[in-house]
Structure 1
Amino acid sequence: MIEAALIKQCAVPSLKPAIVEEFLAAAGSDDPLNVTVRAGSKTFLVPKAKSPEEAIELVHDYLGKAVVRVGLTQYLLGMDITDKSQVTAGVFDPCNNIKIGTAQFSRVYRIVTQWYGSSVPLALEDAIKAYQTGYFEGEYVFSVKDPRQSVELSAPDPAARQEGVPVPKAIGAKSEPRNERRQQLWSQHPNKADIGVDLSVIGDYNRE
């Protein structure tokens, strides 16, 4: 369990603490040294790192060969890095990792929220899934233009999370029950998850 004080200090201000907590609970890791390596739908079994040095060694071993997620937020490291020395053990620092990871997630959440038209509960759930898989509505979400200030990221009302509650009309979409809409969204490209990463999103956290 990540301390609330750490979230308040390190997470990007565009995300309310309740959103960050839900995001971390669903997509994060309790181990700040955690390294997850995937290629398509396959997850590689890698040794558990006992130090930042061991963790960064794992990153260097797989970077450029597979998709690598790191730390508390399991944020994405780019496959197109030309010099592995650019990636240091600092990515496993809890505060730095939360800062970068929440910046990546806030970008995804803005894109999904803009598609729905508002911060409905399903928008947050689908944003978490898009962050984990890399895809939303058939597009690689990390390469979609960030709407930034045009979208307000409010915390959805927990009372609206009942199954079968209709979803408000999204941009260019029909209103449908939550379960049917989710099935439509994520059945389109089930095998495309985590194929690649646009490294440019990592730099975005400095501009939050």
Structure 2
Amino acid sequence: MDAAFIAKCADPSLTPAIVEQFVSAAGSDDPLAVTVKSKGRLVLIPKPRSPDEALEVVRSNVGQAVVRVGITQFPAGVGVSDASELRSGIFDACENLRTGTGLFAKAARIVTKWYGHPTNKELLPQLLDDTIYAWKTGTFEGDNIFRAEDPGGPTFFGKSSGDAKPAAEQANPVSDDDVALQSGKPDTAAEAGIRIDLSRISGQK
């Protein structure tokens, strides 16, 4: 993924390396990608040829099934009370990356808080695994990750949501080498094994 594109469009509280890891593990290379799942089963749909066609597919399924859209595959309809409010802009690559990474950063803060805001960066692969798994399933520790309140605080080991600098200006608090530790690891927490439970230390869960 182009560094300038990430700097322009991604949530600034995420490092470029984490943005790339997230999109590679949970997203799509097709800006018009629409994934529809009903009761856990994938629903086959015609491949949209334009943003308007993609939007029609979304509007006809949202509210009845889980509908994921665009390069980040964020769930369409989050924060929207009526399907008619949805616009084809959700299939614009930059807008989709901005919205998707914003939601992913919130999920990361929820996971980071659950772990008790650890300082050991060796835990980054596990934190990232858990956040990607939460993104894919829509839940973390029984709560809807997309509708949950943003707890604020650090995003993994990076900036807090309120004081993040633009991505192009970040002095990576977590290096690309740290994220590279993820290479070759399973892409879901279920496959990665038992999650480390720090709730006794943090007092939070």
Partners of 1:82 and 1:152 in 2: how far apart?
Answer: 28
Partners of 2:67 and 2:195 in 1: how far apart?
Answer: 34
Q: Which residue of 1 aligns with 2:156?
A: 153
CA offset at residue 51 of structure 1? 0.7
1:130-178: CA deviation from partner (whole Å, max 9, x where unpaired): 0110111222222333121x224333724755989x987623379xxxx
Secondary structure, in 3 states, of the residue corresponding to 2:32?
A: coil
Q: Which residue of 1 aligns with 2:65?
A: 66
Q: Which residue of 2 aligns with 1:172?
A: 200
Which AA in structure 1 matches 2:15? K
Cα pair 2:61 2:67 within 8 Å, conserved: yes
Which AA in structure 2 matches 1:15? L
Partners of 1:79 and 1:17 in 2: how far apart?
Answer: 24
Cα pair 2:27 2:73 within 8 Å, conserved: yes
Partners of 1:140 and 1:60 in 2: how far apart?
Answer: 22
CA offset at residue 79 of structure 1? 7.0
In the superposition, the TM-score normalised over structure 2's length comes to 0.74
**Distance change >3 Å, CA 133–CA 92, structure 1 → 2:** same
Count of residues in Structure 1 that have an aligned counterpart in Structure 2: 172
Instruction: Note if 1:135 corresponds to 2:139.
Output: yes
Partners of 2:94 and 2:16 in 1: how far apart?
Answer: 14
1:1-208 mapped onto 2 (5 Å cutoff): 2-78=1-77, 81-116=80-115, 117-118=117-118, 120=123, 121-148=125-152, 150-154=153-157, 155=174, 157-158=178-179, 170-172=198-200
Partners of 2:33 and 2:67 in 1: how far apart?
Answer: 10
Which AA in structure 2 matches 1:147? P
Cα pair 2:108 2:155 within 8 Å, conserved: no
Partners of 2:97 and 2:180 in 1: how far apart?
Answer: 28
Q: Which runs of 5+ in 2 are unaligned?
A: 158-173, 186-191
Cα pair 2:17 2:179 within 8 Å, conserved: no
Cα pair 1:112 1:123 within 8 Å, conserved: yes
CA offset at residue 83 of structure 1? 3.0
Alignment RMSD: 2.8
Identity of aligned residues (%): 44
Which AA in structure 1 matches 2:53? E
Secondary structure, in 3 states, of the residue corresponding to 1:56?
A: helix
**Distance change >3 Å, CA 64–CA 131, structure 1 → 2:** same
Secondary structure, in 3 states, of the residue corresponding to 1:7?
A: helix
